Amino acid sequence: TIVVLVNDPGFATQDQNLFTGNAMTYYGRWTYKYEEGARQGAKAVLIVHETAPAAYPWSVVESSNTGSKYTLIDDEKNISDIPVMGWIDEQAANDIFAQAGLDYQTEKAKALSPDFKATPLNAKANLTLNSEISQAQSHNVVAQLTGSEQPDEYIVIGAHWDHFGTKQTNEAVKIYNGAVDNASGSAATVEIARILSKIHQQTPFKRSIIFANFTAEETGLIGSQQFATGDIVPTKQMVALLNIDGMNVLDGVDYILQYGKGMSEMENYLADAAKAQGRHVKMDPRPQNGLFFRSDHFSLAKQGVPSLLFMSLGDTDPDYIAHKYHKETDDYSPQWSLGGVKQDIELIVDIATKLANNGDWPAWQADSDFKKKRQQERP
């Protein structure tokens, strides 16, 4: 069993020379902790939750990790997966370390040293986990406008259609509608498809455009992972992905958020489209949250497809993350003006239209972790 911290050493030390400093890399994401634990042969991985490095309170961990969990079935029937993957809060970590004769805060401070080596806990636990494994089926919803000149080159516009459904508590059944996250994004994808279809009827796009509403994003980007296997379209034929995950349902703003800095040439398209609207690009104000690694575009980025994330969760609504994100209170309000939705739909249509006609293949920046994969597929 491995006990690990969430986020990067750069965040913990605020040292800009460690990783990318305060901005999270994929190595700080909880998903990576499980992946690396599996590679090292761990039988269990427990992640210690703290609100600041995790970027969300313990209540989000609870709502996201109770009930059924899902994964894709791989060729090896998932035998390489870690049997036990879980989170513990900081108080539980203090208690566990104390029972092993160690002080959690002291050991955490030691972990900040570059020459740190893991400390054996010398503790044992007897657990009984009752679980049931079953197979289920869900669907990505995919549509296509076929290009007139390069039909085998694809612009992908996507969003996830899932949320958490219903959850039974002792008191009642809670309904999680996920109105912002991400009914707003999946509805926007349909509206963008309507707009682009109308344009295509008048003047056909040279390239094809795919509209994809992905399933099971909230349980680990599963739908987009399946899409990224290339069973519908090989990723080497995908020019770019524009991913929508939580729109600004309030009034329009004079900026557009950019997630990830210096990632790819797609950022130039974002800046140009924003300028055409009289807006400017604003860098992610919370880079420590690692939002670039937390939505469906990341599944495609890992396969080398340059991507942009359009997300406004908590940006124009300061109350959203604390009281609505992944809670039953993420519900539609008639008070929404939807000015921001209209604004961003028009921006995405602009970018998609340019890419569908100009023949450009946006590249990853030289120091990007995703450049190598793209070069392998498109040398």
Per-residue pLDDT of 226-275, as tens digits, reads 999 988 999 999 999 999 999 999 999 999 999 988 899 999 999 999 99
Is pLDDT above 80 for 322?
A: yes
The mean-pLDDT minimum among 19-33, 43-57, 123-137, 297-311 falls in: 123-137
Average pLDDT, the chain: 93
Residue range 349-355: mean pLDDT, rounded: 99
pTM: 0.89
Residue range 157-172: mean pLDDT, rounded: 90
Say if CB 148 and CB 201 are below 8 A apart.
no
The mean-pLDDT minimum among 17-31, 137-151, 212-226, 271-285 falls in: 17-31
* pLDDT at residue 127 in the model: 81
Give the per-residue SS3 of 147-211: CCCEEEEEEEEEEECCCCEEEECCCCEEEECCHHHHHHHHHHHHHHHHHHHHHHHHCCCCEEEEE
Count of other CB atoms within 10 angstroms of residue 133:
5
Write down the CATH superfamily of domain 141-377.
Zn peptidases (3.40.630.10)
Please provide the DSSP assignment of 25-76 as one string: -GGGSHHHHHHHHHHTT-SEEEEEE-HHHHTS-HHHHHHHHSS-------TT
* pLDDT at residue 94 in the model: 96
H-run or E-run covering 310: strand 307-310
The mean-pLDDT minimum among 50-59, 120-129, 135-144 falls in: 120-129
Say if CB 176 and CB 167 are below 8 A apart.
yes
* pLDDT at residue 76 in the model: 61
- Decide: helix, strand or coil at residue 237: helix
Cis-peptide into 182, omega within 30 deg = yes
- Decide: helix, strand or coil at residue 92: helix
**For residue 293, what is the DSSP state?**
G
* pLDDT at residue 77 in the model: 55
Residue range 48-75: mean pLDDT, rounded: 85
Say if CB 320 and CB 180 are below 8 A apart.
yes
Alpha carbon distances (Å) from 110 to 1, 9, 122: 19, 12, 18
Q: Which residues face 364 on adjacent strands?
A: 264
Residue range 29-56: mean pLDDT, rounded: 92
Residue range 83-95: mean pLDDT, rounded: 94
Residue range 150-174: mean pLDDT, rounded: 92
* pLDDT at residue 82 in the model: 86
Is pLDDT above 70 for 79?
A: no
The Cα–Cα gap between 241 and 177 comes to 26
The Cα–Cα gap between 375 and 264 comes to 13
Give start-end residues of each CATH 3.40.630.10 domain in the chain.
141-377
Identify the band that residue 321 occupies on the pLDDT scale cut at 50, 70 and 90. confident
* pLDDT at residue 95 in the model: 95
The closest of 219, 212, 159 to 186, measured between CA atoms, is 159
* pLDDT at residue 63 in the model: 80
- Decide: helix, strand or coil at residue 87: strand
Identify the band that residue 204 occupies on the pLDDT scale cut at 50, 70 and 90. very high
* pLDDT at residue 238 in the model: 98
Say if CB 336 and CB 317 are below 8 A apart.
no
The Cα–Cα gap between 249 and 321 comes to 15
Residue range 291-306: mean pLDDT, rounded: 95
